[in-house]
């Protein structure tokens, strides 16, 4: 419980992470989709698992209109403060920002995830050093024969 209080005080962590199922249902209504309020509530979508809701999961919970899916996923990203994922994102770019990675980890259930704070997560990822892929990876090099 003390880790949750610590998390709520951390301004880097989106406060929607602590929303109840009713809070999420009211939010979906507030962004203009009152007809999906029951879909979110019936599927027990709370703030913590809002990170898992994306364009592939919305149809499974009852959101079938493609334009609605686009708007809702965009609003979720804004709410959580995470970048929009792109299918053509280059592998030479550094991995996604730490907040998105933290939220994915926090969306899981269990004692370890419950107790983890953003500050603790940052300590763990600070030691990781990202390096871009080798520039010559996948190149066909001449075998030295003179033809």
Domain residue ranges in the chain: 2-126
Output the DSSP codes for 12-48: TS-GGGG--HHHHHHHHHHTT-GGGHHHHHHTT--ST
Burial string for 90-128 (b: 16+ CB within 10 Å, else e) reads eeeeeeeebbbebbeebbeeeeeeeebbbeebeeeeeee
**CATH code for 2-126?**
1.10.150.50
Other C-beta atoms closer than 10 Å to the C-beta of 73 total 19
Give per-residue pLDDT as tens, 69-81. Answer: 999 999 999 998 8
Give per-residue pLDDT as tens, 84-143. Answer: 767 677 767 766 677 877 887 777 778 888 788 888 888 877 655 556 656 555 556 566
What is the token pair recorded at 118? 């953003």
């Amino acid at each position: 419980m003390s880790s949750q209080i610590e998390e709520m005080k951390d301004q880097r962590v989106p406060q929607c992470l602590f929303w109840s199922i009713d809070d999420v249902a009211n939010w979906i209504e507030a962004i203009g989709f009152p007809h999906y309020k029951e879909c979110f509530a019936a599927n027990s979508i709370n703030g913590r698992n809002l990170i898992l809701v994306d364009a592939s999961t919305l149809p499974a919970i009852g959101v079938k209109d493609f334009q609605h899916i686009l708007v809702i996923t965009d609003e979720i990203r804004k709410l959580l403060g995470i970048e929009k994922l792109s299918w053509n994102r280059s592998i030479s770019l550094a991995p996604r920002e730490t907040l998105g990675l933290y939220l994915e980890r926090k969306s899981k259930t269990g004692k370890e995830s419950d107790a983890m704070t953003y500050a603790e997560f940052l300590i763990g990822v600070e030691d990781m050093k990202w390096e871009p892929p080798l520039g010559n990876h996948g190149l066909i090099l001449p075998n030295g024969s003179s033809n």
